[in-house]
């Protein structure tokens, strides 16, 4: 049994299902006894020192919900980036409890690719209790690469050799221009209005066919039978 054309049209015009905002999975948030995240934004250049010590409160209960946020999370990695619509990026990472006890700090390196070369942005040194960092004012339409490396504890007098640092994990993303997002939202609204208009036209045609055309076609047959 074939579906009526009107039902097919309604199904085609139905809006796509909205993706529910997934809550922050366990392990991505700092522990309750870490109310602050100490960090330093290091100056450009090969020197590792310098920078002013700052503090920020961790982003607890954060949810990345479209269309105001786009999540970039490589499979099997412990690093992810949530690109917000206000041109900022929330970087989050997680560690196993055993690995967290061997970390004294995190080194964050940021770079973005321009037309011909790659440019550095921020170099940040974060405390061992940090599990997120907010990168504000990213450029639109360029490829960013954020790499996070855990720094091991320094070797003590009784230690035979210092622990080897773990390899850095990186995530890449491109910030979508805010104007393009507005255009997509506007096109979605216009498409929905067009679908509603088509449904109304189909209902009007069906009404005219049922109530006006059939009586007009039946009148000649009635005249042949007095």
pTM (two decimals) = 0.62
69/77 Cα distance (integer angstroms): 20
Containing H/E element for 186? helix 178-208
Residue 124, burial from CB neighbour count under 10 angstroms (0-12, 13-18, 19+): buried
Could you tell me which residue, 92 or 5, shows the higher pLDDT?
Answer: 92
Q: What percentage of the chain's residues is helix, strand, coil (to nearest 5)? A: 25, 30, 45
- Helix/strand number for the chain, H first, E second: 4, 10
Q: How confident is the model at residue 190 (pLDDT cuts 50, 70, 90)?
A: low
DSSP calls for 30-59: --TT---EEEEEEPSSS------EEEE---
Name all contacts of 176-179 with Cβ < 8 Å and 24+ positions apart: 176/70, 176/83, 176/140, 176/141, 177/140, 177/141, 178/85, 178/87, 178/140
State the pLDDT at residue 150.
Answer: 93
pLDDT of 95 strictly over 80: yes
State the pLDDT at residue 101.
Answer: 87
145/137 Cα distance (integer angstroms): 15
How confident is the model over 34-60, as a mean pLDDT?
79
Tokens encoding 48: 């590792």
Span 113-131, pLDDT tens digits: 877 788 888 899 999 989 9
């Amino acid at each position: 049994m074939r579906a009526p054309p009107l039902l097919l049209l309604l199904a085609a015009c139905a809006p796509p299902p909205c993706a529910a905002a997934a809550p922050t999975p366990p392990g991505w948030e700092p522990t309750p006894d870490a109310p602050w995240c100490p960090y330093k934004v290091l100056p450009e250049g090969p020197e590792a020192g310098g920078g002013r010590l700052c503090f920020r409160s961790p982003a607890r209960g954060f949810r990345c919900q479209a269309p105001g946020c786009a999540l970039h999370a490589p499979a099997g990695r412990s690093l992810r980036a949530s690109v917000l619509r206000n041109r900022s990026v929330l970087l989050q990472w997680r560690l196993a409890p055993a690995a967290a006890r061997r970390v004294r700090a995190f080194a964050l390196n940021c770079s973005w690719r321009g037309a011909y070369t790659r440019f550095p942005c921020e170099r940040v040194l974060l405390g061992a209790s940090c599990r997120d960092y907010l990168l504000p004012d990213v450029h639109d339409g360029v490829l960013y690469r954020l790499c996070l490396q855990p720094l091991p504890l320094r070797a003590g007098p009784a230690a035979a050799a210092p622990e080897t640092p773990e390899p850095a994990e990186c995530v890449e993303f491109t910030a979508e221009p805010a104007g393009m997002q507005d255009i997509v939202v506007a096109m979605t609204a216009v498409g929905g209005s067009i679908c509603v208009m088509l449904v109304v036209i189909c209902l009007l045609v069906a009404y005219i066919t049922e109530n006006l055309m059939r009586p007009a076609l039946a009148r000649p047959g009635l005249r042949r039978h007095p």
